[in-house]
A and B are shown apart, each in its own frame.
Chain A
């Protein structure tokens, strides 16, 4: 998913100016000043492939978290309310995390210790296919909604049909495109509200569902695990109102939701833990509080007074301003999540404007990756990366094509520029106009200047940042971007970000990179029916793309968050946020 949906940076700019809230979106901190930040991560995040689990793995219940017990109330402090809870509109990591508690999908990720597997959730397994185009699923017995009514195959189909409804915007488009074979699925099917049926999904009985894809997609079982593709019973579809109060198929249900202020979830008595291989529901209740600034949330979590003893946050990070304090206090350090997320951040080079590959390579060589990261909080903001794929993607291979130090190598860049027609090219660096980026622009301007570039810094209103930089005819040369895979395969990274045929306004390919050889290779890999073969091929393509230097890889982001001393089982999940499904009250 594009990070735009996930990061709250844009909301900050001016407000942040005075509010000290800078840490909400940027920066994280605190792994220990002198230690290699990648080490604790290696322990916590499963780097091995996320394998497809067996039918036995899919049975449930989810293996118990050692030491966990049921009961109690968890308070969740969030900067803002969830923009969407209606699964059809859920794509950002924060919204997805909330829907983990309220929805179930055909498949889901099972995290046990350091091992993550994709298993059947509502379905008995991860699906059966012979050709990579037709997938068949069978629902488990005894699945129920919050009112005790059964979850049927027709409801799963209806839930997916709803994602076509143009009123329900905001969700991912993978299944819609794959089922219709169209880049704009609405040309074929416009959703169920008008009474139409989507023939690409068949439900021969209440327990069986068959998907007919337009082309081969071996990673289809992974895409199905997205929260967007949850079951919705037709007679409970409250349309627009569903967004604030979804009808639950998950372990909790919405008791009350006061928009922008708070929300209370209580146990769904009809959810059967024995049917669910991926969810624990240890706490009796979840209380959400919305609206506080990041700094204030962190202060509350540090103080942990009263009900805050069992408080946590899904996504508010510890900023550089508090990192030192947390770092020097063993009590706080003991209740800190500090893990690498699947979100990669990089700097796009506009390949339509900077056409000379040598100039692009010189930008990679000269870029002050270290200096900019320091402004965002240093090592705790993220781990430096040289690749496109993140370490939590299947098939990831580490390499460093350019071999420059993290603070840039102006001399190497200069030498490269000397081989081009213009050793002093002008580079427009565009950034979101907030306090931290303004400083970053100063660092970028100085570092690139040393290599001989003439740098123009261009602040963009934070609100417009994504619109402006995601325009096909934008007039900038280098601009920050980010991407998080929607499932642990490069097929949700490389095609949307580097396929030249997917260049559109607002799309994911913001370096406007269009290389026929790469495009052809993407097609070849996507037609493979063997997932591990695909993973190897993606890793090779990753390296091939980086030779053309369409982006300057920067960091794999970290989630660094505090939680109350009364909680256990807090860690990040495959979504990248603090994962609620293993949390328990001590």
Chain B
């Protein structure tokens, strides 16, 4: 087990290293002046010169990359500003270390992810189990049909139509938006309801389908059939065996989905004006804030890699054969 963790961890680190290299070289090797791009709207020749010096863009690219990596591990100086580890660069548009801005935006994305996950898992898994238990019956068919339509919906469409109907017309929900939970928990909750519900509608549908088929698949597994043959009542079989088998699959899928959440939250955050990390990435593109773009892409990639590794580890824990 320990060896597996080490190997898997190393693999994840290597992938992250590769992703960071590709991101860095693609963005910084482009025939553009990163100093100019890093320079804000009120760019003066003095600021430009300072940035050139601070970015060290006169140095060869691999050298710059090394500086960048060094900053992540040990922190680095940008002129007079000390950027503490893990330093993902310094945004000259925001006049702030990238890591600080990311940390500032992270709670919004986290709120979105946590609330949506709770809804998605409870609704998706719940309905999926019901559908599986009622397999072939009317309820199952209806749930499956609804799930298909739901999973074909898009956040940018459902979200705006829901916002129009529930917020602007009927005034049932408050305006969506992020307020720190520490500032005003009621407002935090109110502002997040619509984004959560929208994400739940669109994503839970996939989980209904997935849970249903995982349950059905688990039931056909040998150990479940054995349990049934031993004369256990069907309900007990469902809950004790099939359920457990299916949940392993569902949670695996959930882990992978959670990994890409940060990157795909961009549409949700844009639709609902939530100033999270994904929205930060979009506004950094608008502002041509290269260090910030690189930072957000890297963090999102790290998320994917970490979640994948976590899923693998859980798997290995549950099923020792994986550790080979």
Q: Which residues of A contact B (CB under 8 A)?
A: 4-5, 10-15, 17-21, 166, 169-170, 291-293, 295-296, 299-300, 461-464, 466-467
Contacts and interface: CB of A to CB of B under 8 A. Distances in A.
Contact of B270 (A13, A19, A295): A19
A278 B47 CA distance: 37
Secondary structure of the A contact surface, majority rule: helix
Interface stretch (B13-21, B109-117, B283-291): B283-291
Nearest to A83: B42
Contacts of B275: 291
B42 A462 contact: no
Given A169-B47, A292-B177, A463-B287, A15 B270 contact: yes
B58 interface: no
Contacts of B296: none
B43 interface: yes
Interface residues of B, number: 21
A11 B283 contact: yes
A184 to B, nearest CB: 11
A4 B42 CA distance: 9
Given A18-B271, A19-B271, 13 more contacts: A4-B41, A14-B286, A17-B270, A19-B273, A169-B47, A291-B275, A296-B177, A300-B175, A461-B288, A462-B286, A463-B41, A463-B287, A463-B288
A295 B286 CA distance: 19
B282 A296 contact: no
Given A11-B283, A15-B282, A18-B267, A293 B43 contact: no
23 contacts: A10-B41, A11-B283, A13-B286, A14-B285, A15-B270, A15-B282, A15-B283, A15-B286, A17-B270, A18-B156, A18-B267, A18-B271, A166-B44, A170-B42, A292-B273, A296-B175, A299-B175, A300-B175, A461-B288, A462-B286, A463-B286, A463-B287, A464-B288
A581 to B, nearest CB: 27
Interface string B159-188: 000000000000000010100000000000
B279 A15 contact: yes
Contacts of A463: 41, 286-288
Interface of B: 41-44, 46-47, 156, 175, 177, 267, 270-271, 273, 275, 279, 282-283, 285-288
A170 B95 CA distance: 15
Given A19-B270, A169-B47, A293-B273, A14 B283 contact: yes
A64 to B, nearest CB: 37
Nearest to B287: A463
Contacts, number: 55
Contact of B273 (A11, A13, A21, A466): A21
Given A18-B270, A296-B273, A467 B43 contact: yes
A13 B271 CA distance: 14
A336 B47 CA distance: 41
* 6 A-B pairs with the lowest CB-CB distances in the bound complex, closest first: A18-B270, A14-B286, A463-B288, A13-B286, A15-B283, A293-B273
Contacts of B47: 169
Contacts of B270: 15, 17-19
A166 B288 contact: no
Given A17-B270, A18-B270, A11 B42 contact: no
Contacts of B273: 19-21, 292-293, 295-296
Contacts of A291: 275
Nearest to B42: A170
Contacts of A293: 273
A190 to B, nearest CB: 12
